[in-house]
Amino acid sequence: MSASGTRAGRITRRSLHYAVLIIIAMTILIPFLWMASTSLKGSGVMTEVPPRWIPEKFLWGNYPEVLFEHKFLRFAINSIYISLTAAVGQLFTCSLAGFAFARLRFPGRNLFFSLLLATMMIPMQVMIIPEFLIMLKLGWVDHILSLPLIIPSWLAGAFGTFMLRQFFLTIPEDLEAAARIDGCNIFGIYWRIFLPLAGPALATLFIFTTMTAWNDLLRPILYLSSQQRWTLTIGLANFTRQYDVNENLKMAGSLITLTPLVVLYIFTQKYFVRGITLSGLKG
């Protein structure tokens, strides 16, 4: 038997495996830890050599300063409003359309479905200039309810429709037949049978849409001009462009931008992973 097959060999290989796993985990985590560490330092020690991992003094006051004076609390509220509204609306429209594509026969079904799939393949940059002009003509740029970030998400959720259609295709027919006997019309079948069964698929879509809206940068740049309507991403982008802002405050702002989603990720990991991998289909 070769040396690598012995017990000692196995243990060595396993330790090596863990060592590599840990090194890579460190390269992932160090930027986040450095962000947290810097965010608690005073602005005077940004240039100190050698840099310290544990701040000499913990300046918790950096956070209230960023939240209130630099308005990140306002941005956070805007981000929450936009991503939740976009996600909830998308659950309705996508499940309605997904249900029709999966379970109903009607003239033009294949045509409409092909159009839907085609739009998923087209890069959004091809559509963004006319989309901006449409928003301009509607008078929605800098809209008080930030409609340009919400309405397209409600009405043009091609990926969500596709995903829910695939899910609805798997629901057995017997359930519909039973509901028919109980006197349900097709809206009843959608509402009382299909929607409740789609829990996990809806959760995946909800998380995915929330994440996309939360992290979106381009649309907030285009459509939110007044500071009071900024989301965290655009707020942070503009914050980092100010000359007189130090790294400690930028890091506090970054951490505020990240934390809500990271917390959500810790608790609902599998929905995040599923939604993001499935969305890869749309290219």
Give the residue among 189, 37, 25 at the shortest CA–CA distance from 104.
189
- The residues near 152 (Cβ < 8 Å, ≥ 6 apart) are 131
Q: Is 116 in the site for other proteins (CB under 8 A)?
A: yes
Asked if the peptide bond before residue 172 counts as cis, ω within 30 degrees of 0, the response is no
Least separation, in Å, of the C-beta of 6 and other proteins? Answer: 16
List the end-to-end C-alpha distance of the chain, in Å, as a whole number: 49
Q: Is 59 in the site for other proteins (CB under 8 A)?
A: no
Q: Is 129 in the site for other proteins (CB under 8 A)?
A: yes
Measured distance CA(259)–CA(72) in Å, rounded: 13
Q: Is 77 in the site for other proteins (CB under 8 A)?
A: no
Binders in 131-160 for other proteins, by CB under 8 A: 131-134, 136, 151-152, 154-158
Q: Which stretch binds other proteins (CB under 8 A): 17-25, 55-63, 66-74, 197-205?
A: 17-25
Least separation, in Å, of the C-beta of 199 and other proteins? Answer: 20
Measured distance CA(51)–CA(24) in Å, rounded: 22
For other proteins, the closer of residues 145 and 217 by Cβ is 217
Among 11, 17, 68, 142, binds other proteins (CB under 8 A): 17
Among 72, 140, 167, 190, binds other proteins (CB under 8 A): 190
Binders in 243-272 for other proteins, by CB under 8 A: 243, 247, 250-251, 253-255, 257-258, 261-262, 265-266, 269, 272
Asked if the peptide bond before residue 148 counts as cis, ω within 30 degrees of 0, the response is no
Instruction: Tell me the two tokens of residue 188.
Output: 């009843």
Least separation, in Å, of the C-beta of 53 and other proteins? Answer: 9
Instruction: Tell me the two tokens of residue 131.
Output: 């989309």
Amino acid at 3: A
Instruction: Tell me the two tokens of residue 225.
Output: 């001009």
Least separation, in Å, of the C-beta of 208 and other proteins? Answer: 10
Q: Is 65 in the site for other proteins (CB under 8 A)?
A: no
Q: Is 201 in the site for other proteins (CB under 8 A)?
A: no
How many helices (H) and strands (E) are present in the chain, helices listed first?
14, 0
Backbone angles phi, psi at 107, to 5 degrees: -65, 135
Among 59, 67, 117, 221, binds other proteins (CB under 8 A): 221
- The residues near 198 (Cβ < 8 Å, ≥ 6 apart) are 95, 164, 167, 168
Among 66, 91, 97, 195, binds other proteins (CB under 8 A): 97
Among 72, 140, 214, 230, binds other proteins (CB under 8 A): 214
